[in-house]
Amino acid sequence: MQKRKEPLAQINLFTAPPLIPLNDPLRLKELHSYEILDTDEEDEFNDIVLLAASITKASIAVISLVDTNREWFKAKTGISANSYPRNFSFAAHFLSAENLFFQVSDTEQDERFSDNPLVTGKPNIRFVAGIRLVNKNGYAVGALVVMDDQPGELKKEQIFFLQTLAKQVLKLLEQKMLNKQIQQQRIKLEQQMSLQNRILSIIAHDVRNPVGAVKSIIELSGKKLLSKQDSAALMQMAAKQIDGTVELLNNLVDWGSMQMKGRGFETEKTHLYTLVSNMYKSFDVMASLKSNMLVNLVDDDLFINSEINALSFILRNLISNANKFTNEGVITICASTKEQNIMLSVSDNGVGMDALTCSEILTGQKNESSAGTLNEKGSGLGLVLTKDFVEMLGGTITVESEMGKGTTVYMHFPNSKT
């Protein structure tokens, strides 16, 4: 850096702050898209400011990123500060400049900077030069800036090398953003694969019980122990059960497709009593085979804002589980508003569980499900997935049980009014 003869200072005590560019909201959006602000130091950026200071013989060099109310330094040498207010920023004055290169040979002789605290006090900046960091979309996110406490000017070759280093800063920013996008895509792919496996598990689990009920009906009819009238009635029940199973599969496939597309849960206002009643209809066959009574004690005026397929899955599995471990008993669903939550419970007066089984039932520690009262088989997956779904809907779930007296599953969901 060439030093110039220092002229007399002409200090303006009323220097205006940097003008805000008209495109500043879009410019800030571009800056924030890099997700670089307030990140840790990185050698690649640090090397650039060291080279910039060495090439220009400046005592200070920074990679300045101009945020809403501050300039933040991704890399720096020669100063201890990590940021300065935007009003103090030299780079902020040149965000809308016509040329990439800017230079102030003597800050004390420039009315824009003569009373700048960085000029009048430490680090006593007298010389500033830099290259605006204009990204591929045409927005200046900041600048590569060199500064010194003596007036001066850069030579052509110094400007050229500074421009080269600024291009490298932009390449690093773009590369970091690309790497992050690749990482996000990888995580998304892993999540989709995990979700796909879960969907297959859900379909396999939910279809097993209704298909088993149809199989039992066909076996009873095949043994010719029933009258023609009873056999015909059972076959009608089997047809209903098959229709319900097809509907179940369609719901699960639709919900799975929605999740795979990344749409997430879509809530809708649902009349809870009607939902439970409709769920009970799909269990008429299985409940009647075990002489179980299905009771709906949900408050008639209760609505819940939730994802209907997820909530149906939860109820379906809890009803199925209650029916599995109950014979000639009662399965009851209750729901009411409690404080800011909706309390929903599914209870039975079946065989119940011991304390150890009850404590492990939702954790997945118990790998195999116990056989039901009619030796029904199960994988134990249903309750684990149910807990997953409850938590995805923002709720909590607990289980209380006593051997020989039955089991109650309690759930609490946020009572959103929207």
Task: Show the domain range for 41.
Answer: 24-154
pLDDT of residue 416: 65
- Asked if pLDDT for residue 18 goes beyond 50, the answer is yes
pLDDT digits (tens, 9 = 90+) for 307-327: 888 898 889 889 988 998 999
Same domain? For 245 and 133 the reply is no
Evaluate whether 378 touches 317 at the Cβ level (below 8 Å): no
Query: What percent of the chain is predicted at pLDDT more than 90?
Result: 52
pLDDT digits (tens, 9 = 90+) for 240-293: 666 656 656 665 665 566 555 555 567 889 999 999 999 998 888 888 888 999
pLDDT digits (tens, 9 = 90+) for 67-125: 999 999 999 999 999 999 999 999 999 998 989 999 999 999 998 999 999 999 999 99
Same domain? For 269 and 402 the reply is yes
- Asked if pLDDT for residue 337 goes beyond 70, the answer is yes
pLDDT of residue 5: 44
Number of folded domains that form the chain: 2
Distance of CA 18 to the CA centre of its chain: 37
pTM exceeds cut of 0.75: no
Closest CA to 311 of 351, 283, 270: 270
From CA 70, how far away is CA 89, in angstroms rounded? 8
pLDDT of residue 359: 82
Same domain? For 230 and 144 the reply is no
In terms of pLDDT, which residue wins out, 11 or 201?
Answer: 201
Same domain? For 37 and 138 the reply is yes
Tokens at 117, concatenated: 């605290």
Query: What percent of the chain is predicted at pLDDT more than 70?
Result: 76
Complete DSSP assignment for 279-338: HHHTTHHHHHHTT-EEEEEE-TT-EEEE-HHHHHHHHHHHHHHHHHT-SS-EEEEEEEEE
Over the chain, what is the mean pLDDT? 84
pLDDT of residue 219: 72
Same domain? For 204 and 325 the reply is yes
Same domain? For 137 and 213 the reply is no
What's the whole-number mean pLDDT along residues 129-138? Answer: 96
